Amino acid sequence: MKKVLHYINQFFAGIGGEDQADHKPELREGVVGPGLALNTLLQHGQVTHTLICGDNYMSSNTEQAVQEILELIKDIDFDLLIAGPAFQAGRYGVACGTIGKAILQHRQIPVLTSMHCENPGVEMFREFFPIFKGGNGAAKMKADLKSLAAYADKIFTGEKLLSAEEEGYFGRGIRHQVWLDPPVTASTRGVEMLIKKLNGQPYQTELVIPQKDLVPIAQPIADLSQAKIALLTTGGIVPVDNPDHIQSASATRWGRYRIDQMERLKSGEFKTIHAGFDPAAADEDPNRILPLDVMQAFLHEGKIGALHPYFYSTVGTGTTQREASRMGHEIYEHLAEDKVDGALLVAT
């Protein structure tokens, strides 16, 4: 029976939610949480150990967390790592990918995980190991674990592994030469696809080109001295009480805060809740992330015509494209209402 190491976060380990997201790495013998279901689905393997780490701890102390985990597992034997499933949880997905990549590189052990297509971990780690196409929430846990267990068993038994599309994981950009039986030349296959296309019939190209979501570049502002400018940031600058409860990573919320009576943001009144960088410099001077002081100076010097009376803030790390697009459209409504000419989007 092959040995499986299972990686999960603090939530699925039953330790706690956001209040325990800084939980340091630990290694437990046997199954924990979803590992119990995974064990019942595996036919040729069993979960012998479970790795646990808080999502915030991994995202805020990545190098340290990875080294601590590698130290924890240095004396245990296992044949495969299964991480997650991570669903649509961005921090969890990135954590699964981060530790999966580290174990793959240091132990040359096969790694599997599962994520929803909107999880940022997919694009970050799909080239390194199979990431199965999973559900958007824990309600899909059983189905996602079933896919992972079935593929793990195929690895354990040496069964022929099929293409990413046939197995159900995201393509990794790896192409293999395949001998068809009976043989069909490339020219014949190409003509057959062309005929189907011309006749409006379904066909599948052998070389799928990813479609990029391109946003047209806006026209430049003709005269900044007459323009109204807005300030936006993905750096997580908020009032110290974070009144909109914006998440420190994988954000689904944004905030709008009045600044027309301020010359600069003051430390102690504003801070960052971003989990992806050291907050010390931003908390000491929030203008380093949201440069209200510079924009007010530009306004007084006549370099810009007006400053929108609010700034808008969210957190970019781990935030899915879908959520970012939704928040952007919602913020745009306010900017359009005030006839804003341009926006300065400050990252970190």
Amino acid letter at 306?
A: A
Per-position DSSP letters for 283-306, written without gaps between them: HH-GGGTS-HHHHHHHHHHTSSSE
Q: Which two tokens stand for residue 256?
A: 């709008």
Distance from C-alpha of 234 to C-alpha of 314, rounded to nearest angstrom:
5
HSE-CB at 27 with a 13 A cutoff on CA atoms is 15
Q: Over its length of 348 residues, how does the chain's per-residue pLDDT go in tens digits?
A: 999 999 999 999 999 987 888 899 999 999 999 999 999 999 999 999 999 999 989 988 889 999 999 999 999 999 999 999 999 888 899 999 999 999 999 999 999 999 999 888 998 899 999 999 999 888 999 999 999 999 999 999 999 998 888 899 998 877 777 788 888 888 999 999 999 999 999 988 887 777 777 888 989 999 999 999 999 999 999 999 999 999 887 788 999 999 999 999 999 999 999 987 889 999 999 999 999 999 999 999 999 999 999 999 999 887 877 788 899 999 999 999 999 999 999 877
- The answer to whether 5 and 45 have CB atoms below 8 angstroms apart is no
Q: How far apart are CA 200 and CA 192, in angstroms?
A: 12
**51 CB contacts (<8 Å, ≥6 apart)?**
5, 6, 7, 8, 25, 26, 27, 69, 72, 73, 99
Is 0.75 surpassed by the pTM of this model? Answer: no
Helix (H, G, I), strand (E, B) or coil at 241: coil
Q: How far is CA 229 from CA 176, 275, 299, 336, 344, in A?
A: 52, 28, 10, 12, 7
Identify the H or E element spanning 66: helix 62-72
